[in-house]
Amino acid sequence: MKDLKNIKVLVATEEHLKYVDQVNDAIDIASKERGTGIARRTYEYIATKMKEGKAIIALENGETFAGFCYVESWGAKSFVANSGLIVVKDYRGIGLATEIKRKAFSLSRQIYPDAKIFGLTTGLAVMKINHELGYRPVTFSELTDDEDFWKGCQSCVNYDILQRTGKSKCLCTGMLYDPAWEKDKKAEKKTWAIKGTLLDIINKLKPNKNGSSPKDAAILTLLFKKKNQ
Ligand SMILES: CC(C)(COP(=O)(O)OP(=O)(O)OC[C@H]1O[C@@H](n2cnc3c(N)ncnc32)[C@H](O)[C@@H]1OP(=O)(O)O)[C@@H](O)C(=O)NCCC(=O)NCCS
């Protein structure tokens, strides 16, 4: 049984160009097994991703190829996808894809902080990982309308479905992470923090059994006025 502890998950560089063929072969084998007919990426495409620092590679003992994924941007960089996820058969089921996707996600956030991150998948493993990262399932209308992205579906055996539905649905589930959700969450937390603080003050200033002092009431009014300014 392989151990995740022996596997390093890194941002690929020029140093890893020697693994490009292995990456492509592994993607080829997996797409044949799945019967989805995913197109083989060219050597140049994968190599460029490595040179640009937009790929993640997993190596056992710093040497043996175990997994890969790369970052692509679409729609004038307003959307980002983490594509070409592959884990070599011997290394599956130990959480390696989770680690690779985590790293690809943080790399995407670093390079394209305002972009929405999305993916299309039929695989339960990827759905689980995406969900954990904060992606939500969405209809295709929420994904990029960049024609070049959708061209990538042409080699899929189910492409006729996508065509018939005018790109509105297919067998894949669309999943999306929008960085704006984080901002909403932060704003919401702040509002609750303010509400919490005010509540504490109100409780402290509450009249005791003997009745409230006029001084307390004055402070309370002042505080409310300040917060609502
Ligand atoms: C899909 C793939 C990347 C998963 O890699 P992995 O390293 O085995 O995945 P992990 O061990 O990180 O598992 C992640 C989660 O998915 C689950 N999972 C893994 N393989 C699964 C499978 N075949 N079916 C259902 N669930 C699966 C795991 O149990 C885990 O769930 P948990 O967090 O609830 O425990 C790998 O099987 C693969 O390379 N397949 C071929 C290429 C491919 O399908 N790529 C994805 C294209 S969208």
For a mutational test of ligand 1's pocket, the pick from 60, 87, 100, 127, i.e. the residue with the most ligand atoms closer than 8 A to its C-beta, is: 87
Q: Is the CB of 92 under 6 A from ligand 1?
A: yes
How are strands ordered across the β-sheet holding 116-121? 7-11, 55-60, 64-74, 79-87, 116-121, 173-177, 136-138
Please count the helices (runs of H) and the strands (runs of E) in the chain. 8, 7
Contact of 125 with 87, CB cutoff 8 Å: no
Query: Distance between CA atoms of 80 and 105, rounded to whole angstroms?
Result: 10
| Residues sharing a CB contact under 8 Å with residue 3, sequence separation 6 or more, in sequence order | 94
Q: Is the CB of 127 under 6 A from ligand 1?
A: no
What does the pLDDT profile of the chain (229 residues) look like in tens digits? 899 999 999 999 999 999 999 999 999 899 888 776 666 789 999 999 999 999 999 999 999 999 999 999 999 999 999 999 999 999 999 999 999 999 999 999 999 999 999 999 999 999 999 999 999 999 999 999 999 999 999 988 899 999 999 999 999 999 999 999 988 777 777 777 777 776 777 776 666 666 655 555 565 566 656 666 5
Residue whose Cα lies nearest atom 30 of ligand 1: it is: 125
- Beta partners for residue 175, in sequence order: 119, 137
The confidence score (pLDDT) of residue 41 equals 85
Q: How far is the CA of 227 from the centre of ligand 1 (A)?
A: 50
**Amino acid, single-letter form, for residue 154:** Q
- Tell me the domain boundaries of the chain: 4-177, 185-227
- Beta partners for residue 116, in sequence order: 79
Residue whose Cα lies nearest atom 43 of ligand 1: it is: 86
The confidence score (pLDDT) of residue 210 equals 60
Residue whose Cα lies nearest atom 19 of ligand 1: it is: 125
User: What's 39's DSSP letter?
Assistant: P
- Which contiguous run of DSSP H or E holds residue 116? strand 116-121
The confidence score (pLDDT) of residue 189 equals 76
CATH 2.30.110.10 fits 4-177, yes or no: no
Q: Is the CB of 93 under 6 A from ligand 1?
A: yes
User: What's 63's DSSP letter?
Assistant: T
Contact of 82 with 104, CB cutoff 8 Å: yes
Q: Is the CB of 87 under 6 A from ligand 1?
A: yes
The confidence score (pLDDT) of residue 190 equals 75
**Amino acid, single-letter form, for residue 133:** L
The confidence score (pLDDT) of residue 193 equals 75
Query: Distance between CA atoms of 42 and 59, rounded to whole angstroms?
Result: 21
User: What's 95's DSSP letter?
Assistant: S
Contact of 139 with 201, CB cutoff 8 Å: no
For a mutational test of ligand 1's pocket, the pick from 2, 28, 69, 98, i.e. the residue with the most ligand atoms closer than 8 A to its C-beta, is: 98
